[in-house]
Structure 1
């Protein structure tokens, strides 16, 4: 039986409770038994080493050393890690080891909510199968990213809101390894209503299934 843990909380602007409910339904559709917690203390539980998947949804939070140590050990041991936007990509700003595991860290979203394009760079990957490049309206994430990521989609900054990044191509969707664990990340999905965008939802749902042990 596949088991997934969603840990939600942090900044309320990302609607973590509502999004955790949507994620839970998505994973149940894929045959997971889903557990949901709203405290980082869940990461310290030894039982997470037996999970198939962990989904952090906890923007701008703090994590205790023992919690992070247990979480990273679980993923290195083979538990999948997957998530999206700030819930995973801006969870623990002061923890480089967490960012090393994720493969990136949010640093800016020039212009805030804007229209931009998501360019599919790996249409041959099962996560992106049948999805062409598409327009999107949300925060366009500028991130510090790990060059070892396997990038599946990117976006190009115009420079309209920060002229010095004009033309920069930034990863939007990637997957990677951390020890024996699979890690998936998508920067799409500021609030719960964005799950209504078919491409956003499909990419995330497939990516979480790929990441799961």
Structure 2
């Protein structure tokens, strides 16, 4: 079997445990025939030779910044057939300084609504809410999510700004609450794919903490998403 190459790029906010989180999936990639290289900065995206030889980027960088050279390299590589995949803030809340990055991935974290103010204690758990990940008609058939029923999580529920180029496999709906300023339920994509030139992009918004990444449904979806996004033979 021909060896494929995966590049794990991680860093940014430590609260998402980028080293431990990506460490959950590196053995999976290796077991599926990928040689894995790990980088702690997106600067590697500016290396055209490395990017051309890479089949999949697994990115886990929350917030942080990206240089213009690195962003140009990433966009060009995905357009040429490189796969880009990730979860939660590691891909959907990266590089807030860059609208071009937002266009590439198709969704940007806006907020994660909290519990009632009288139940908040000032730690991350203030934003842990029970919610449902609901499969779309496409999601029930797509190879990433086929056979997975709607499922429940208690964790951060991402409100995502997005566009119609995404192929949405699952959604989640934010209910109205008397302590929030919006007055109707808001449905956000929870899992989506996106085609960019010859490349494929996969995003799952669950993944705030290691226990969520180890949830059987979440883990299966991410593993399938990594394989789906990787460069195809024709790219």
Q: Using structure 1 for the length normalisation, give the TM-score.
A: 0.96
Question: Pairwise CA RMSD of aligned residues?
Answer: 1.2
Distance 2:183 2:35 in 1: 43
The correspondence of residues 59-98 of structure 1 with structure 2, limited to 5 A, is 59-98=62-101
Of the structure 1 ranges 132-141 and 120-129, higher mean CA displacement relative to structure 2 is found in: 120-129
The correspondence of residues 81-120 of structure 1 with structure 2, limited to 5 A, is 81-111=84-114, 112-120=127-135
Is structure 2 residue 227 aligned with structure 1 residue 209? yes
Q: In structure 1, what is the equivalent of residue 19 of structure 2? A: 17
Contact map agreement 1:84 1:187 (CA 8 A) in 2 = yes
Q: In structure 1, what is the equivalent of residue 122 of structure 2? A: none
Contact map agreement 2:8 2:38 (CA 8 A) in 1 = yes
Distance 2:190 2:183 in 1: 16
Distance 2:42 2:62 in 1: 12
Q: In structure 1, what is the equivalent of residue 142 of structure 2? A: 125
* Structure 2 gap ranges (5+): 115-126
Q: In structure 2, what is the equivalent of residue 171 of structure 1? A: 189
Sort the Cα spacing of 1:165 and 1:60 in 2 relative to 1 into closer, same or farther, 3 A: farther
Contact map agreement 1:7 1:56 (CA 8 A) in 2 = yes
Which of 170, 185, 203 is equivalent to 1:185? 203
Cα offset for 1:163? 4.8
3-state SS of 2:66 partner: coil
* Structure 1 gap ranges (5+): none
Q: In structure 2, what is the equivalent of residue 2 of structure 1? A: 4
3-state SS of 2:25 partner: helix
Cα offset for 1:42? 1.4
Q: Using structure 2 for the length normalisation, give the TM-score.
A: 0.87
Contact map agreement 2:206 2:213 (CA 8 A) in 1 = no
Cα offset for 1:70? 0.7
Cα offset for 1:23? 2.1
